[in-house]
Structure 1
């Protein structure tokens, strides 16, 4: 495959997957990492492709894309993270989940569990886990957002504040080494902040493409949660900040673990 054909193939893969790592791109194209980086450079220079830590995406996917499209981005990685987190949740446990693609994947991985008590603001998560295996599902009320089918605002926050659960699990939009966990929407950040206060165990789930991103709104400091599940070890600056805060980092690929 020559240089120009690879450019076309890179753009085709991005249309299908939204975001893709450099390593995965090299494997799919059957070329070296060095060749991929060389091919990607002119695409990033002319604005066709957005470069981030260890991955590339289409410019239209910067920030928060519509929920359905985000569910397709890095789906394999998110599913691996969700599968690992699901193994730490037992039948009969109580779980609070905010809206997010990785938490939606987690809901699907929890379909084999029984007698869960689930509190969420996500209609997708509520539909997935309600009426099966003896689960109890409580959904926060309020106006549903058209892009994600999730409820936000004062009534949703007040509703979940009534509960105390075994596990609080948060899906995030950006992880900034200097600031902490961030999001792109004020309502989502405020709801997420409340979720973190309701669990005996507090967990953040995120694929590696969120590392090094800078959102619009701060959700919390790294010290405000206990565990972070991801698919690749964080970059050095993020890893150092997590370690300093005492956060346990668990990596789904290969089940590697970095304990702070």
Structure 2
């Protein structure tokens, strides 16, 4: 039973995105965290939505594979970032991508490009871009993860280390002003670090929900890459740290595709 207009809006957002954080709901509905929690309680009591760590989701969505579920989280923000970054890549260029939901969105935005050379450890990205428009796709071998369909390990790192590409682009699990770019998995962090070292252009792409988070493993500090693309300007402390490190910040909502300004 829908008890209020906000309940309908909550369910509409869940229908679009699958899962939504409590903090995001509070911001988008213009109410406090406590109000959102009170609104959510009757929905969870009735079994209409399912509670997760700091978020809620539709019951059908919680049965999805982890990667599929993450693809639905902040999907519009990731799509906006991907569209902006894709506009800076030209036909015939080479690109290296690690596994991640934002890089998978980028692969989909690159479907209009031709003759790309793509190096990746992600089976999702490889399937998306292989055998279309004259592309060449090289996929790293190694242990294939069941949750993400990506290959990791020494063999995957050694494979991509042989390439030098125009664009080296990774996603991020967390970005902190002092710790830099972080992930929650050692193998993923090691692979991402190698990717950044193989490009003429090195870029991190992430939605704004990753700012201020603390991951488990450092990928690199903020001087370890040249550009950061996101959908919303980061908090002042992170923006200042990016500027001090010389990182070029591009914000999809604030800039035309392919444009940007120095962080800060």
Using the size of structure 1 for normalisation, the TM-score is 0.84
Q: Secondary structure at the match of 1:253?
A: coil
Q: Secondary structure at the match of 2:144?
A: coil
* Counterparts of 2:11 and 2:123, CA distance in 1: 33
Q: Secondary structure at the match of 1:203?
A: strand
User: 5 Å matches for 1:11-160?
Assistant: 13-14=13-14, 17=17, 18-19=19-20, 21-22=24-25, 25-26=28-29, 33=30, 35-37=31-33, 39-40=35-36, 57-58=55-56, 66-160=66-160
Deviates more, 1:157-166 or 1:246-255: 246-255
1:6 positional shift? 3.8
* Counterparts of 2:94 and 2:120, CA distance in 1: 11
Residue of structure 2 equivalent to 1:188: 188
What are structure 2's unaligned runs of at least 5 residues? 41-50, 58-64
Show CA shifts across 1:58-84 (max 9, x none): 49xxxxx81000001111111110000
Show CA shifts across 1:73-102 (max 9, x none): 111111110000001000110000000001
Residue of structure 1 equivalent to 2:169: 169
Q: Secondary structure at the match of 1:99?
A: coil
Residue of structure 2 equivalent to 1:259: 262
Please report the RMSD computed on the Cα atoms of aligned residues, expressed in angstroms: 2.9
Using the size of structure 2 for normalisation, the TM-score is 0.83
1:214 aligns with 2:214: yes
* Counterparts of 1:235 and 1:14, CA distance in 2: 26
Q: Secondary structure at the match of 2:152?
A: coil
Structure 1 residues 209 and 157: alpha-carbon distance in aligned structure 2, compared to 1, 3 A threshold: same
**8 Å CA contact 1:43, 1:49 repeated in 2:** no
* Counterparts of 2:178 and 2:7, CA distance in 1: 35
* Counterparts of 1:124 and 1:201, CA distance in 2: 23
Give aligned pairs, total. 244
**8 Å CA contact 2:182, 2:216 repeated in 1:** yes
1:43 positional shift? 7.7
1:178 positional shift? 1.7
1:258 positional shift? 3.9
Q: Which runs of 4+ in 1 moved over 2 A?
A: 2-17, 19-25, 35-38, 40-44, 48-51
